[in-house]
Structure 1
Amino acid sequence: MTLITIRNLGVTLNAPLFSRLNLVVNAGDRIGLVAANGRGKSTLLRCIAGSMEPGEGEITRSRGLTIGHVEQDVPSALMDRPFDTVVLEALPVERRASESWRVGFVLESLEVPEALRRRPLKQLSGGWQRIAMLARVAVTEANLLLLDEPTNHLDLARIVRLENWLNALPRDMPVIISSHDRAFLDATTNRTVFLRPEQSQMFSLPYTRARAALGEIDASDQRRYQRDAKAAQQLRQQAARLNNIGVNSGSDLLLQKTRQLKSRAERLEDAAKPAHLERSAGTIKLANRGTHAKVLIALDDAAVAAPHGRLLFKTGKQFVCKGDRIVLLGPNGAGKSRLVAMLRQAIENPEAVQAGIKVTQSLALGYCGQDLADLADADTPMHTIVSRFDVGDQRARALLAGAGLSVAMQGHPIGRLSGGQKARLGMLLLRLAQPNFYLLDEPTNHLDIEGQEALEDELLEHQASCLLVSHDRNFVRAIGNRFWLIEKRQLVELEGPEHLFASIGAAG
């Protein structure tokens, strides 16, 4: 059964986001929507939801279709309301009294603790705020779900629970998911749309297999283009030789043949389409200053506590050595970010002695926090660069342009940048700091798949020493060579992450 038909859809904002897009959404479709940051995923979802009009084309929705749309950001008007009230108010006013039971049912299915249900959203973590937005959609019993980056701010356990919740929906319930979480897309989708300015590609496959199929198509297109371009060049060379002979001999027949060869070359060149090249959202480059020290950080049963003093865990005896890429694992609230903050303070302020933490003097820190709080919203990218580093205006502009920030963006307040643009600015600051040790707290939160893979490549190529927090399973698998887990108020080392991933999946 067809619920949505999209014909020749196009949207242009400064540059074309997508054009001539044709897509049919049927009952049971679980569609993954993939593109770089700023390439139209959220825009397409808004068009499907009816909250935005496309520039061209049309969308036909089946009669009586109700659409549940979870956008990336929580509306500010909801932040002061209690969790359960926010969910109840998603129902029409006339249904709230008689169907308030639905709220409890949905919150149970999403495993929301009773203690959180009466608390205002502004007092909750970003992860619980995301769950609240999902619950608002679930309680309405919509016929089609549109989820825009649903895993943002969720820890691994909640990501797996969300996967299980989606997979437990009625089989005929269609869902369209915009996400940069590759493992999540593989677990929840059966179709993949790669959104492009021209000729978006679609596959009846989950992400990883679709990505491989897309690579084969792009490689074939590139070979065809090179073959056609070579054939056109040969035709022009033949035409040039015949033209010379024709002119010297005065042969009208040869001159006519020359014109025919040129015409064939022109038709071939006009028809030849170069393979799609993904327009980068901005390059990510890192640096590694190097250090002669073998042991970078020694932990001797350091106590990690919450801001109000409650003990979260103790580290035991642990060492961070040169070349280690340590992934710190554990649920939200376990103390991962607290340990990162303690290590940061110990490196940046060695005179402020912290019990149980010893840092080598040669450490030069590169830090990136999950909320990018080191970037002041009122500041501009240009001022941020020139005030922190001695690079000069011209070099700063070139660096920012390479990171995906146009000259116009460079003068705008950072608060007006997208999450992806802020993340790339943060990565540029890391590079310019020339660190020899990286502390990265959820570095992939705002990076698209291209950015995640670039960060993976840079960390591996530079053999960077780092300690990082991430709930992205693909990123953890690609980067980590050591794995620490916060468990039962202790820091324990795992041989690898797979057993933990499997146990979370089984528990979920």
Structure 2
Amino acid sequence: MITLRDVTLRRGAKVLLDKVSVTLNPGEKVGLVGRNGAGKSTLFALFNGSLHEDSGEFSVPAHWQMAQVAQHMPETEEPATDFVVAGDTRLAAVRERLREAEARLEAAPEDADAGMAVAQAHADLHDAGEHDAVPRAQSLILGLGFRVQELDRPVNSFSGGWRMRLQLARALMSPSDLLLLDEPTNHLDLDALVWLEAWLQRYAGTLVVISHDREFLDAVTGVTLHIDQQKLVRYGGNYSAFESMRAEQLSQQQSAFARQQEKIAHLQKFIDRFKAKATKARQAQSRVKALERMEKIAPVLAEADFSFEFKEPANLPNPMLAISAGEFGYRADASPPTVILRGVNRSVLAGQRIGILGANGQGKSTLVKTIARDLPLLAGTLTEGKGLSIGYFAQQELDVLHAQSNPLEHMIRLARDVGPQAREQELRNFLGTFNFSGDMVNQAVGTMSGGEKARLVLAMMVWQRPNLLLLDEPTNHLDLATREALSVALNEFEGTVMLVSHDRALLRAVCDEFWLVGRGEVRPFDGDLDDYQRYLLDESRRLREEARANASASSLAAPAPAPGPAPGPAPAPAPTSGDGAARRKQDAQQRQQLAARLRPLRKELEAAESRMTQLQSARRDLEARLSTPLAPADIADAGRELKTVSEELQDLEERWLELSSEIEAAETAAS
């Protein structure tokens, strides 16, 4: 177990944890929460051994293996699969031992010890999972959102966010007793996040995770450690349970009672108002539940030191905008335009709360950027309502910020360009409401944290008094308290909200309806986020099977075209015409075609199974032979033969898995 007893931790002269004691048991999944700067990363540094306690006692079992995501950006031409396989530290160590033993044996064939070392290394390789290392690594890579054709691409060919996903896969590949994850969801979209949750739920070791995604914490953790005012308190339960317990504690503290009651009354007012507006069954019920949660944890929200609100819009055009036969995409220099979404016919009405869903790369940001006027509409019409005023939160905050300018300079330019005109002191006071006080108003944006930049973008949006909010992943750098403040502000906002986010708590609390972006189109999604998560898991499974089938077809026939955007639900087969006899004849023909297609695959599968049985028997015989006294030359021969047999068996096992998957996918598609 992990034990802290009267531990004090400092960063420089500042005490972050003062004489704290806590115990984490083997196999527990722990969420580490607290305000930014409270000491979460410092405690992680203690866990991973890069920082030592200033006083007290800290212990982790000496035999435990630890894994964590490397924070540096990988720079290598190594293929993605090989890069992730290398994360298996146990396998890498055994491979190195085998290379050393083989070099010794090659230099001195008569060296009995070298022959035994080669034989032992081969046995250890099997125990370390050499036979399925590549499939395990590729399963992690595909689960985190990569495509099959990207498995062997060089790591350097991916963008920064995708390279950090490879770092995450590499950490998950490593055998570990303790897994440390610091904001693992930052570079993930919703489908990869759902996959990661399922993987971590199956993880057998001890997990400690820092995250500002409350639904992720709820799904993965069963213990919560809260850092506050230099203390570390353990709560039994996930993040929602922690919220409830802490709310009960805070409600019993009378020192801030008057301020809390005022803010609680304010919260209750809009909760009552919006619960009365809940009309759309599935989506609205999710929102009602989110508001009910806010009722229970009102003391926690009242304790937060940051809150804000959007100003009432000057007018509310209805409709806000209308899209007819729209084509969305982008143009690169003189090249023909790249169309991502076609035939879009949608309207946005005053007061709507729209969540925009879809897998990564399907066009969500392209849709939002076009509505925000950052990209031109390629075809069709986009008609804006008279007086439309857009507040746009870009996924990359620096898209709308200047790194060399400070918050005050940003606000002065904004007040000059879009109004209303204001004195400098008024702008300073306004920035103070967003926690930019004192010298912070003169700090260059480029030196600020992601959360501070996000707050500045929110401040600029509020000043503009928009009637349509376009929010593209607004919570990426926000802590939990600021996310709650954003949720409250959006619920009180009188205008229209269009939201792209992987934060399901925010989507549930804010959105009354959803649009699904995928297969080159935008269509309503008739369901709630639980339905969408099931859809994502089904789609991920179906796409993997489809990719395997395409790979098989390309190896048996002409090359298959590269997969396009992730498709939506598979269309139902068209009804056959004619009477029952014609349908039966057509079914029989389809079964014959399937059987003909599968015949060579089944034949190869049977041959592989037969050969695997022979090789497994040969490997057992060799291992038994190596366990008896032999001459050095015989040991060397047996070791080399064992290596050959093990390599052929590994190749056959991988091929057997591929064939089984292809056959299963074909049978599923035909059923």
Q: TM-score, normalised by structure 2?
A: 0.62
SS in 2 for 1:474: helix
Which of 488, 493, 506 is residue 524 of structure 2 equivalent to? 493
Which of 389, 396, 404 is residue 371 of structure 1 equivalent to? 396
Contact 2:316–2:467 (Cα < 8 Å) also in 1:
no
Which of 214, 217, 222 is residue 254 of structure 2 equivalent to? 222
Q: Does 1:316 align with 2:350?
A: no
Moved more, 427-436 or 374-383: 374-383
Q: 2: CA distance between counterparts of 1:287 and 1:295? A: 20
Give the match for residue 210 of structure 1: 242
Contact 1:8–1:19 (Cα < 8 Å) also in 2:
yes
Q: How far 1:434 moved relative to its partner?
A: 1.4
The superposition leaves residues 78-107 of structure 1 with CA deviations (integer Å, 9 ceiling, x where unpaired) of 377653454355466755566776355233
The superposition leaves residues 247-298 of structure 1 with CA deviations (integer Å, 9 ceiling, x where unpaired) of xxxxxxxxxxxxxxxxxxxxxxxxxxxx999985644432232324210110
Q: 1: CA distance between counterparts of 2:464 and 2:310? A: 9
Q: How far 1:154 moved relative to its partner?
A: 1.1
Give the match for residue 226 of structure 2: 194
Give the match for residue 30 of structure 1: 29
Give the match for residue 178 of structure 1: 210
Give the match for residue 232 of structure 1: none
Give the match for residue 144 of structure 1: 178
Q: 2: CA distance between counterparts of 1:122 and 1:436? A: 42
Q: 2: CA distance between counterparts of 1:405 and 1:320? A: 34
Pair 470,205 (structure 1): closer, same or farther in 2 beyond 3 Å: same
Q: 1: CA distance between counterparts of 2:345 and 2:378? A: 17
Partner letter of residue 409 of structure 2?
A: H
Q: 2: CA distance between counterparts of 1:85 and 1:376? A: 39
The superposition leaves residues 103-133 of structure 1 with CA deviations (integer Å, 9 ceiling, x where unpaired) of 5523323424343234344543555333212
Pair 15,219 (structure 1): closer, same or farther in 2 beyond 3 Å: farther
Q: 1: CA distance between counterparts of 2:60 and 2:302? A: 31
SS in 2 for 1:484: strand
Give the match for residue 458 of structure 2: 427
Q: 2: CA distance between counterparts of 1:303 and 1:207? A: 42
Which of 486, 505, 516 is residue 455 of structure 1 equivalent to? 486
Contact 1:193–1:200 (Cα < 8 Å) also in 2:
yes
Moved more, 96-105 or 287-296: 96-105
Contact 1:9–1:56 (Cα < 8 Å) also in 2:
yes
Q: Does 1:328 align with 2:356?
A: yes
Q: 2: CA distance between counterparts of 1:384 and 1:355? A: 35
Q: How far 1:375 moved relative to its partner?
A: 1.6
Pair 277,474 (structure 1): closer, same or farther in 2 beyond 3 Å: closer
Partner letter of residue 218 of structure 1?
A: L
Contact 1:281–1:403 (Cα < 8 Å) also in 2:
no
Pair 479,278 (structure 1): closer, same or farther in 2 beyond 3 Å: closer
Give the match for residue 320 of structure 2: 296
Identity %: 28
Q: 1: CA distance between counterparts of 2:385 and 2:13? A: 49
Q: How far 1:394 moved relative to its partner?
A: 2.8
Q: Does 1:503 align with 2:535?
A: yes
Contact 1:88–1:96 (Cα < 8 Å) also in 2:
no
Q: How far 1:342 moved relative to its partner?
A: 0.7
Q: How far 1:157 moved relative to its partner?
A: 0.9
Give the match for residue 370 of structure 2: 342
Where structure 2 has 5 or more consecutive residues not aligned to the other structure, the ranges are: 99-124, 259-298, 416-420, 541-671
Where structure 1 has 5 or more consecutive residues not aligned to the other structure, the ranges are: 227-274
Q: 2: CA distance between counterparts of 1:328 and 1:277? A: 27
Q: 2: CA distance between counterparts of 1:481 and 1:288? A: 20
Give the match for residue 406 of structure 2: 380
Which of 71, 74, 78 is residue 75 of structure 2 equivalent to? 78
Q: How far 1:447 moved relative to its partner?
A: 1.1
Query: RMSD of the TM alignment (CA)?
Result: 3.1
Q: 1: CA distance between counterparts of 2:23 and 2:427? A: 45
The superposition leaves residues 313-367 of structure 1 with CA deviations (integer Å, 9 ceiling, x where unpaired) of 2353211011011111100100000011111118x99xx9963211123011111
Partner letter of residue 358 of structure 1?
A: T
SS in 2 for 1:301: strand
Q: 1: CA distance between counterparts of 2:498 and 2:177? A: 43
Partner letter of residue 317 of structure 1?
A: N
SS in 2 for 1:9: strand
Which of 84, 87, 110 is residue 87 of structure 1 equivalent to? 84
Q: How far 1:65 moved relative to its partner?
A: 2.5
Which of 130, 135, 140 is residue 109 of structure 1 equivalent to? 140
SS in 1 for 2:7: strand
Q: 1: CA distance between counterparts of 2:343 and 2:160? A: 26
Q: 1: CA distance between counterparts of 2:141 and 2:537? A: 15
Give the match for residue 8 of structure 1: 7
Q: 2: CA distance between counterparts of 1:35 and 1:79? A: 35
Give the match for residue 65 of structure 1: 64
Partner letter of residue 246 of structure 2?
A: L
Q: 2: CA distance between counterparts of 1:150 and 1:214? A: 25
SS in 2 for 1:356: strand
Q: 1: CA distance between counterparts of 2:135 and 2:305? A: 42
Q: How far 1:385 moved relative to its partner?
A: 2.0
Q: 1: CA distance between counterparts of 2:164 and 2:39? A: 21
Q: 2: CA distance between counterparts of 1:315 and 1:21? A: 60
Pair 438,385 (structure 1): closer, same or farther in 2 beyond 3 Å: same
Give the match for residue 48 of structure 1: 47
Partner letter of residue 387 of structure 1?
A: R
Number of residue-to-residue matches in the alignment: 452
Partner letter of residue 62 of structure 2?
A: R
SS in 2 for 1:377: coil
Q: 1: CA distance between counterparts of 2:46 and 2:324? A: 55
Partner letter of residue 429 of structure 2?
A: A
Q: How far 1:4 moved relative to its partner?
A: 4.4
Contact 1:17–1:196 (Cα < 8 Å) also in 2:
no
Pair 147,54 (structure 1): closer, same or farther in 2 beyond 3 Å: same
Contact 1:330–1:336 (Cα < 8 Å) also in 2:
yes
Q: TM-score, normalised by structure 1?
A: 0.80
Q: 1: CA distance between counterparts of 2:331 and 2:492? A: 37
Which of 180, 196, 202 is residue 168 of structure 1 equivalent to? 202
Q: How far 1:64 moved relative to its partner?
A: 2.6
Pair 225,57 (structure 1): closer, same or farther in 2 beyond 3 Å: farther
Moved over 6 A (4+): 98-101, 223-226, 275-279
Q: How far 1:305 moved relative to its partner?
A: 2.4
Partner letter of residue 28 of structure 1?
A: G
Contact 2:164–2:187 (Cα < 8 Å) also in 1:
yes
Moved more, 378-387 or 22-31: 378-387
Give the match for residue 305 of structure 1: 329
